[in-house]
Amino acid sequence: MGAKPGWFARRGMRGRITDVKTPILHIAVPSPLQRAFDYRAPPACNPAGLQPGVRLRVPFGRGERVGVLLELRDRSEVPAGKLKAAHALLDDAPLLPPDVLALVQWASRYYRYPIGEALATALPVLLRRGHKGRIAGVKEWRLTEAGRTVDAAQLRRAPRQLALLQQLRRHPAGLPREALEATAATLRALADKGWVEEGERPCLEAIPAEPEPAPLLNPGQAAAVAAVRAGMGGYGAYLLEGVTGSGKTEVYMQLIAACLEQGRQALVLVPEIGLTPQLVARFRGRFREPLAVLHSGLNDRERLCAWQSAAAGEAAVVIGTRSAVFTPLPRLGLVLVDEEHDASLKQQEGFRYSARDLAVWRAHRVGVPAVLGSATPSLESLHNVNLGRYRRLHLPERTGSARPPRVGLLDIRRQPLDSPLAPALQAAMERHLEAGGQVLLFLNRRGFAPTLLCHECGWLADCPRCDAHMTLHQRAGRLRCHHCGHERALPPQCPACGSPDLLALGRGTERIEDYLAARFPDQETIRIDRDTTRRKGALEAQLARATEGQARILVGTQMLAKGHHFPQVSLVAILDADQGLFSNDFRAPERLAQLIVQVAGRAGRADRAGEVLIQTHHPEHPLLLQLVLQGYGAFAEAALAERQAAGYPPFASLALLRAEASGREVALAFLEKARDAALALGPGGVQCWGPVPAPMERRAGRYRAQLLLQAPERGALQQLLDPWVLQLEQLKGARKVRWSLDVDPVDTF
């Protein structure tokens, strides 16, 4: 996209530039305002040669920012005399290609997020800050030849050096400095011995010398691959539905292989990569072309490295979390979204986009297939199948000899309170352990207990900043708020009455772990949750121990539930299914059903018969019964009918305006004005609900409230949002609250 001819036509005639119609640069600059800004070209830069997608340094307010050129215009609303010149051009060629630029612009409008900020979100941090040029690699520490063969006993007296040596042995490819669990002195000591060295790992990953052969597909898989292959070269959206272990990943890989054969790149989006190292390893081992991985655990250089190799067309497969949907891919041929139902594909703060929906948009724009996969598809995607927008590809059964697990509900009413596991569950555990199986216990609550209670006076350990209890973390000796991060030491006695009689109420994973140590003292147990996996590499190490089967009992939160393949797990127990049964969020039943099915899917994946036990106080609850007796498909059908009756998505479109302020009234008053503004605009089919206080009204010391807009279809809602959002910026009180608009919210908290 060059400049329009004619812009410089008069230059030759007069020989002066000033009164010639010089194109104006329309630049997206990070700022809270819902618009882009006009500039003149930087000195000594021919604006006609500029292409959208290049970055420029521009003066902004009293400082300077990095913006992205959106387009050249022939006029500006800013008077010529006031138009500032950009300071410098940062790129010779567009950093963002037209399809990504269009994607971000569309998303910025659809989600009502300022274009400058949206583009900043789409770029790796270093580029956002103005970094120029390619980088060749990232610096990493690794063992030297001598370090690899040294006898660990030599470091008996230097436990820290030994720990570092062992950490690097677990990561033969090397680790960046900040991932090393060592002080500078420890590192130096090992370097002086010649056992560790710093080297540069090239950005482009090595490809396996001998890629894994692909298995022969079963008929269901073959049909799925054939359907998408036939549509390659054009847009098409597919929902690949198959229970855990039915071979979806294998379908992805063979589709990618087909895409690579055509000389094109594949983009794979996953909810949380840290949680799926096995998936990445499988992909890495399969292809003869390099892979790039993009996720939040990378440091800035690592991220830029991977991004650049994708943008240069060198990495043929890009696997990443949400923001990877914005990666430039000059030869994009296929878009895959794994676990498409997962809420973490929607960004929950700032630029609140749905990476899944944007992935489909991008595939449509570029004209390539989009394949969304899940064992438990979202109701949105099922609805799209019903409407004929997506084509359903079904993998009906597990591969090989794996059979579906038996699922049972365990009534835990009137059960002794001191045991978190029903007698029937304990018996089942013994049975499975004796037969050589592994047991996985799922509880979506980390810490020791959800709160602490004074037996004497009833005092509860509440967070001073939130409407929430603080969680007891026994090992750390702390009370922590899981909502705002506030923490304090565990009080030795009740802060209100001085009684030492403090009771831990309820249970978290830490407490289950203690219970297991007493109940099954001979079995190695491993706990996987955010507390045990904070260090870089810790999750991988824990998962390795779980996969290899050393640990016989696995207990954990949703980190354990997603995507992993534990071949020896034969019994899965959900310790508390009741958590999600009575939420007032209309999506809670869907989330609970997905979670239960996903967790259950960890059982009996290989040749062991699996068993799933669900502990509940509500064994007659229709949702649980339906799931257990009829499965996810029947549940989803019923849930869709309910949504339709209630006028909820996917049969309606929602936008949630959230506001928070230092006082309750301030937040509510702002939202009331916002509602009145919407009503005054003549909302045309859009209904306003509220404002009401948020389900957890006070969080981190601020009061939160929300206003819900509901429309029977997207168009009506978007039409109202256009003028409304501009008015919101101007509303009286807008500066006293922090507000944000969430289009297509995935939760209403």
Binding segment for ligand ADP among 16-24, 147-155, 237-245, 722-730 (CB under 6 A)? 237-245
How far is residue 104's CA from residue 94's CA, in Å, rounded to a whole number? Answer: 15
Q: How far is the CB of 492 from Zn ion (least distance, A)?
A: 12
For residue 297, which of 538, 485, 120, 458 has the smallest C-alpha distance? Answer: 538
Amino acid symbol at 119: L
- By a kind-dependent CB cut-off of 5 to 8 A, residue 221 interacts, out of Zn ion, ligand ADP, none, with ligand ADP
- Spatial contact of 327 and 310, defined as CB atoms under 8 Å apart: yes
242 lines the binding site for ligand ADP (CB under 6 A): yes
Beta-bridge mates of residue 141: 175, 198
How far is residue 334's CA from residue 370's CA, in Å, rounded to a whole number? Answer: 6
For residue 150, which of 173, 169, 174 has the smallest C-alpha distance? Answer: 169
How far is residue 479's CA from residue 471's CA, in Å, rounded to a whole number? Answer: 5
Q: How far is the CB of 215 from ligand ADP (least distance, A)?
A: 4
Contacts made by residues 595-600, CB under 8 angstroms, sequence distance 24+: 595/444, 595/558, 595/561, 596/627, 597/243, 597/375, 597/376, 597/627, 597/632, 598/244, 598/375, 598/376, 598/561, 598/562, 599/440, 599/442, 599/560, 599/561, 599/572, 599/574, 600/405, 600/407, 600/572, 600/574
Number of residues that bind ligand ADP (CB under 6 A): 15
278 lines the binding site for ligand ADP (CB under 6 A): no
How far is residue 745's CA from residue 309's CA, in Å, rounded to a whole number? Answer: 33
Q: How far is the CB of 151 from ligand ADP (least distance, A)?
A: 37
> What DSSP state is assigned to residue 88?
E
Nearest residue (CB) to ligand ADP, 252 versus 307: 252
CA angle 321–326–328, rounded 5-degree value: 120
3-class DSSP state for residue 641?
Answer: helix
Q: How far is the CB of 228 from ligand ADP (least distance, A)?
A: 15
Token digits for 591?
A: 């989330």
Restricted to residues 538-577, the positions that interact with ligand ADP (CB under 6 A) are none
Q: How far is the CB of 238 from ligand ADP (least distance, A)?
A: 15
Pairing of strands 63-73, 55-60: antiparallel
Helix or strand run (H / E) with residue 163:
helix 159-170
Please select the residue that binds ligand ADP; options are 91, 140, 205, 250, rule is CB under 6 A.
250
215 lines the binding site for ligand ADP (CB under 6 A): yes
What is the pattern of x (binds ligand ADP, CB under 6 A) and - over residues 391-420? --------xx--------------------
249 lines the binding site for ligand ADP (CB under 6 A): yes
706 lines the binding site for ligand ADP (CB under 6 A): no
Nearest residue (CB) to ligand ADP, 246 versus 542: 246
Q: How far is the CB of 549 from ligand ADP (least distance, A)?
A: 15
Q: How far is the CB of 558 from ligand ADP (least distance, A)?
A: 17
Q: How far is the CB of 616 from ligand ADP (least distance, A)?
A: 26
Per the listing, tokens 């900020």 go with 117
Please select the residue that binds ligand ADP; options are 144, 218, 426, 474, rule is CB under 6 A.
218
Cβ atoms within 10 Å, residue 244: 23
Restricted to residues 79-138, the positions that interact with ligand ADP (CB under 6 A) are none
Please select the residue that binds ligand ADP; options are 217, 588, 625, 725, rule is CB under 6 A.
217
Binding segment for ligand ADP among 216-224, 316-324, 510-518, 524-532 (CB under 6 A)? 216-224
248 lines the binding site for ligand ADP (CB under 6 A): yes
- By a kind-dependent CB cut-off of 5 to 8 A, residue 481 interacts, out of Zn ion, ligand ADP, none, with Zn ion
Q: How far is the CB of 609 from Zn ion (least distance, A)?
A: 44
Nearest residue (CB) to ligand ADP, 286 versus 675: 286
245 lines the binding site for ligand ADP (CB under 6 A): yes
244 lines the binding site for ligand ADP (CB under 6 A): yes
Give the binding site for Zn ion (CB under 5 A). Answer: 454, 456-457, 459, 463, 465-466, 481, 483-484, 486, 494, 496-497, 499
Q: How many CA atoms lie within 13 Å of 624's alpha carbon, on the beta-carbon side?
A: 23
Contact residues for ligand ADP, defined by CB under 6 A: 215-218, 221, 242, 244-250, 399-400
